[in-house]
Amino acid sequence: MVNSRTSLCRWNAREGTVCSRLCAAIDVLESYSKMTFPVENIVRILAINSGEATTTARRTKNWASELGGRYLRLSTYLVVSYLAYAYTWPIQEAHEWKWGWIMTVVIRNFAIEIVFYGGWHSFLYSLGYGQSKLRGKKFNKEDQYRAGSGHLQREQLYTTLGFCMSSAFEIATLHLWATKSRILVPFYDDFFALENLSRSVLHCLFVAYWRDFHFYWVHRMMHKWNVKLFGVDPGGFLYKHVHSLHHKSRNPGPWSGLSMHPIEHLFYYTCVLTPVVFTIHPFHFLLNKFHADISPVAGHDGYDQPAGGSKFHYLHHTLVDCNYGTPMVPMDVLFGSYINPETSVELSQRGGGGKQKGS
Ligand SMILES: [Zn+2]
Ligand SMILES: [Zn+2]
C-alpha cells in the first residue's frame, strides 16, 4: 500500500509468475486510481492508525487516471446493484400489491442504510478512527454530535425518511414495469446479449454523470434564483421552507447526506425516472438508485482524504452560496459559483469555525 511502486512483489513471488503480475496490477491500481468507497478509505485509515502510512493525501495527477479512478469508485454501487438484482428484485410478484415483495424492497433498503450510514458514522465517530491520527483531517474540529445537540437524531430521522422515499420510487417502478404500464418504457432482460451489450455498458458509464448533472439542477433550484416571480424568489422560498433543513448540518457528518425535507427527497429521487424516457435494464435502475442512496455518505463525512474528502461540498455547507454541484460535472464553473476547495483555506476556516444552525 505504502511503497506501491517498489519493484519487489509484496508476496515475494518470482518475476514473471502469475502472482507477481497480479501484484504489479494491484500496484498500478493503487498508484493511479482509487479503490471504491469505503474499501480504500478503511484500508488507508487503518494503515495510518497503525503507523504504516502518513495522512498525506494521494492525489491523482492526470485526467486518464482520474477518469479510471472515477469508474473504479463506482464498483461499490455495481456490487450492491448486482446483489440486489440477483436476490431482492421481486419483478415476478410485483404485478399485484402484496406486502411480501414490498417488504423485501423496504427491508433491503433499510439494511443498506444501516450498513453504509451507520457503519461509516460508527467507524469515524464512534469507534474513534476519526479521532486520533485523522483528527487533523476534520474540516471543522468542533464535535457536531456532542451530547444534547440533537443533530444526530435529526439526521438519522430524515435519512430514514429518505430511504422510505427511495423505496417508494423503487416499488412504484417495479409495479409499473410488472404491469407493463405505458408510463414506463419496457425494460430489457438480457444485459449481456450481443444486441444489448453496448447500451448496457454505456448506460452504466452514464449513470454517475447523469446523477451529478441532475443533482446540480435539483439542488440549485432550492437556492436563491435572484429572480422574482409574482414578488417571490422561488429558490429563496424553497430554501426557507424545504432545503434549509439539509443546511442545519453546517458541520456535516455521514448521516447529513440524506438528511433532507421529504419534499427535497421527492425532487432528489426523480433522478431514477430514466425509464420514463430510455429503454434500460433493471440493473441500471438499481445502479442509479443506489448511487443516490449511498454516495452522500462520503460526500458529507466531514473529513478530508483518506476519509470521504469532499471539501468541495463541505464548502457548500459552510458558505451556502457556492459549489452547488460536484467537481465531476463542473456546472459551478460554468455558472460562476465555483470555489476551488484546494485554494480556499481562508474561506473554509471562516466557514468552518462557526457553530451549526440550531446548535
Ligand atoms: Zn449536502
Ligand atoms: Zn444547498
Cα(162)–Cα(259) distance, integer angstroms: 7
177 Cα to the center of ligand 1, angstroms:
32
Q: What is the pTM of this model?
A: 0.85
256 Cα to the center of ligand 1, angstroms:
7
243 Cα to the center of ligand 1, angstroms:
10
Ligand nearest to the CA of residue 222, numbered in listed order: 2
Residue 175 has what pLDDT? 98
**Nearest residue to 328 (alpha-carbon basis) of 317, 318, 338:** 338
Ligand nearest to the CA of residue 323, numbered in listed order: 2
Residue 303 has what pLDDT? 92
354 Cα to the center of ligand 2, angstroms:
17
Residue 355 has what pLDDT? 43
Residue 220 has what pLDDT? 97
- The C-alpha angle with vertex 297 and arms to 244 and 52, in degrees rounded to 5, equals 135
65 Cα to the center of ligand 2, angstroms:
30
116 Cα to the center of ligand 1, angstroms:
16
Ligand nearest to the CA of residue 252, numbered in listed order: 1
CB 245 within 8 A of CB 261: yes
Residue 356 has what pLDDT? 45
55 Cα to the center of ligand 2, angstroms:
29
Ligand nearest to the CA of residue 243, numbered in listed order: 2
Residue 114 has what pLDDT? 98
Ligand nearest to the CA of residue 313, numbered in listed order: 1
312 Cα to the center of ligand 2, angstroms:
12
Residue 354 has what pLDDT? 41
Ligand nearest to the CA of residue 300, numbered in listed order: 1
Q: What are the angstrom distances between the C-alpha of 247 and each of 66, 125, 318? A: 30, 20, 9
Residue 358 has what pLDDT? 37
177 Cα to the center of ligand 2, angstroms:
33
Query: Tens digit of pLDDT for each residue in 180-216?
Result: 999 999 999 999 999 999 999 999 999 989 999 999 9
98 Cα to the center of ligand 1, angstroms:
35
216 Cα to the center of ligand 2, angstroms:
10
Helix axes 18-32 and 63-73, enclosed angle (nearest 10): 100
Q: What is the 3-state secondary structure (H, E, C) of the chain?
A: CCCCCCCCCCCCCCCCCHHHHHHHHHHHHHHHCCCCCCHHHHHHHHHHHCCCCCCCCCCCCCHHHHHHHHHHHCHHHHHHHHHHHHHCCCCCCCCCCCHHHHHHHHHHHHHHHHHHHHHHHHHHHHCCCCCCCCHHHECCCCCCCCCCCCHHHHHHHHHHHHHHHHHHHHHHHHHHHHCCCCCCCCCCCCCCCHHHHHHHHHHHHHHHHHHHHHHHHHHHHCCCCCCCECCECHHHHHHHHHHHHHHCCCCCCHHHCCCCCHHHHHHHHHHHHHHHCCCCCHHHHHHHHHHHHHHHHHHCCCECCCCCCCHHHHHHHHHCCCCCCCCCCCHHHHHCCCCCHHHCHHHHHHHHCCCCCCC
Ligand nearest to the CA of residue 254, numbered in listed order: 1
Domain boundaries, the chain: 69-352
Query: Tens digit of pLDDT for each residue in 322-337?
Result: 999 988 888 999 998 9
Parts of the chain with a pLDDT under 50: 1-7, 28, 31-33, 57, 346-348, 350-359
Cα(252)–Cα(53) distance, integer angstroms: 26
Ligand nearest to the CA of residue 324, numbered in listed order: 2
318 Cα to the center of ligand 2, angstroms:
10
- Which amino acid, 154? R
Question: Which residues lie across from 303 on neighbouring strands?
Answer: 138
Residue 252 has what pLDDT? 96
39 Cα to the center of ligand 2, angstroms:
28
Residue 73 has what pLDDT? 74
